[in-house]
Amino acid sequence: MSSRRLVLVGCAVVLGCGGASVTSNPGVSAFPRDVAAAAQALDSYQAATGTMMTSGDCTAAVNGYAGPMQGDLDRMMSGSGAMDDQMRSMGQASRADVTCGVQGMDDELQHHVQVACHDSDMAHNRDEASRHIAAIANGLQHMQMRAVEVSVGIGQMGPGMMDGGWRTWDGGMMSPDDHPMGCPGGPMMDGGMMPGGGLGPMMDGGTWDGGAGPMMDGGMGHMP
């Protein structure tokens, strides 16, 4: 199953349980719908970049994607504070990572818009699009997981949860104690981990050990 199909299935699951939310806060109630809209924008972008053959195709794909995704992220940011407050009220302050996670996705979008379609080799442009899609998909699924936790309550097995975790787009599992990019302990755009993360997954599927890691510009960086 493709990454984008899994993202949208997850959003449908969250929307299906939205009515059972433990809070009446409008920001919290709207959050799953905003995540679903962002996933649909990502789905469309993946379809467009999967078939692009020219720089014109690439530019058209980015232009058609960046605006809608930015709007979706802005709406998610509007409800992120309420989501984090709800996590804290449920006794899970360490999982109040929605605001920093949405900011991480916003930063990733800005970076992608700056570097997309700038390579004369279309294979490299497709690789950059795939990297971005994987990063945003990871962040969106984290937001889906938080929405389910808020909806059904901590410790409950909500829709999309398996053995206490959340199934990721690549078939793996995401722990509720994991953090998204943009947050301490979460993955970084350069493939490393934010300080405090320890051993953890990299966006390219490898594992970070706190040492040197590949940077997006092709160089090497040393994570603290």
Q: Strand (E) positions, 66-219? A: 161-162, 165-167, 173-174, 200-201, 207-208, 212-214
On the question of pLDDT at 112 being above 80, the answer is yes
**What is the distance between the alpha carbons of residues 128 and 33, in angstroms, rounded to a whole number?**
27
Is residue 192 domain-resident?
Answer: no
- Count how many domains the chain has: 1
On the question of pLDDT at 179 being above 50, the answer is yes
pLDDT tens column, 187-199: 765 544 444 443 3
Q: Which pLDDT does position 184 carry in this prediction?
A: 85
Calculate mean pLDDT across residues 154-178: 67
Is residue 166 domain-resident?
Answer: yes
Is residue 87 domain-resident?
Answer: yes
Is residue 15 domain-resident?
Answer: yes
Is residue 50 domain-resident?
Answer: yes
Confidence of residue 149 (pLDDT cuts 50, 70, 90): confident
Parent domain of 108: 3-183
Is residue 113 domain-resident?
Answer: yes
Is residue 188 domain-resident?
Answer: no
Name the phi and psi angles at 166, rounded to 5.
-120, 130
Q: What is the pTM of this model?
A: 0.74
Calculate mean pLDDT across residues 106-134: 96
Confidence of residue 2 (pLDDT cuts 50, 70, 90): very low
Mean pLDDT for all residues in the chain: 76
Is residue 202 domain-resident?
Answer: no
**What is the distance between the alpha carbons of residues 128 and 126, in angstroms, rounded to a whole number?**
5
